[in-house]
Amino acid sequence: MNTDSPISTRRDRKREEKRQAIVAAAEEVFGAKGVADASMSEIADLADVAAGTLYLYFSGKEALFFAAFAKRISTLFESTHAHWEANGPLRDRLAEVVRLHLSFVRTNRGFYEFLMTLGHPDHTSPGEFSPLIELCDSQLSLQTAAFAKAQANGEISDKLAPEFLSRALRSLAFGMVTDAVNRRKTEDLESVVEPLVELFWNGISK
């Protein structure tokens, strides 16, 4: 039966679709609750599959979490990439990136929590995380390059290493979430973005 290949292609497509559906559900649930508080059946329900099915696509809870994390963080990074590669004044691009980070953390507390532990030295098996770490690293390069170029142009001060700037930007944006503590009104993104960019911009200007 030479229909094998087409059939398996159709199958593969279906399989891939289901996989996506599962990851999407996992993104939703893990993002909102974090690994520990999310349950596999909850994800299965949302993905509209049986609980057992999850294990046909992922080896366990952790693996599924990793996949969901990778997906979400990639999505974020793709958006920031677009801005870094665009033209226009650096300050404006900074603002966009800050905005993206801020809103990411808002709806992805579960992943942000994990982000904090990714590089933690007392992880039992740091090896497992390396793909995720690389993923996160990769995004930084682009940012770093943008800062380097701006320093070369004389657009900003070159007193601080571009790599540091890149990391600091991300940290500042992500970190502002703790702000929720004092404000309890995380809704108005803009009232945070602008001063943040202003501060950062002053910090790096000549």
Partner DNA sequence: GATGAATGAGGCTTCATTCAT
Partner DNA sequence: TATGAATGAAGCCTCATTCAT
What residues make contact with a copy of itself under the rule CB under 8 A?
32, 34, 36-37, 105, 109, 112-113, 115-122, 126, 133, 136-137, 140, 157, 159-161, 164-165, 167-168, 170-184, 186, 195-196, 198-205
Q: Give whichever of 52 and 127 is closer to DNA, judged by the CB atom.
A: 52
Q: Which is nearer to DNA, 66 or 84 (CB)?
A: 66
Site string for DNA, 28-47 (x = CB under 7 A): ----------xxxx------
Residue with tokens 């290493």: 161
Treating both helix axes as pointing N-terminal to C-terminal, what angle do 4-37 and 61-85 enclose, rounded to 10 degrees? Answer: 100
Scanning residues 6 to 25, which ones bind DNA (CB under 7 A)? 10-11, 14-15, 18
d(CA 94, CA 84): 8
- Per DSSP, 107 falls in state H
Q: Out of DNA, a copy of itself, none, which partner does residue 50 contact, by CB within 5 to 8 A per kind?
A: DNA
Give least dist CB 3 to a copy of itself, A.
Answer: 18
Nearest to 153 by CA among 87, 100, 80, 109: 87
Provide the minimum distance between the beta carbon of 159 and a copy of itself in the complex, in angstroms, as a whole number.
7
Tokens of 142: 């682009």
CB of 87 to a copy of itself, least distance (A): 25
Q: Which residue has the tokens 């602008």?
A: 194
Query: Which ranges of the chain does DSSP label H, i.e. alpha helix?
Result: 4-37, 40-47, 54-57, 61-85, 90-107, 109-118, 126-152, 162-175, 180-183, 190-204
By C-alpha distance, which of 132, 140, 134 is closest to 72?
A: 132
For residue 168, the minimal CB distance to a copy of itself (Å) is 6
Q: Which two tokens stand for residue 18?
A: 């289901």
Residue type at 178?
Answer: T
- Give the position of tokens 């502002």: 176
The residue within the footprint of DNA, chosen from 20, 62, 180, 189 (CB under 7 A), is 62
By CB under 7 A, which span of 49-57, 78-86, 148-156, 158-166 interacts with DNA?
A: 49-57
By beta-carbon proximity to DNA, the closer residue of 44 and 173 is 44
Binding site for DNA (CB under 7 A): 10-11, 14-15, 18, 38-41, 49-57, 59-62
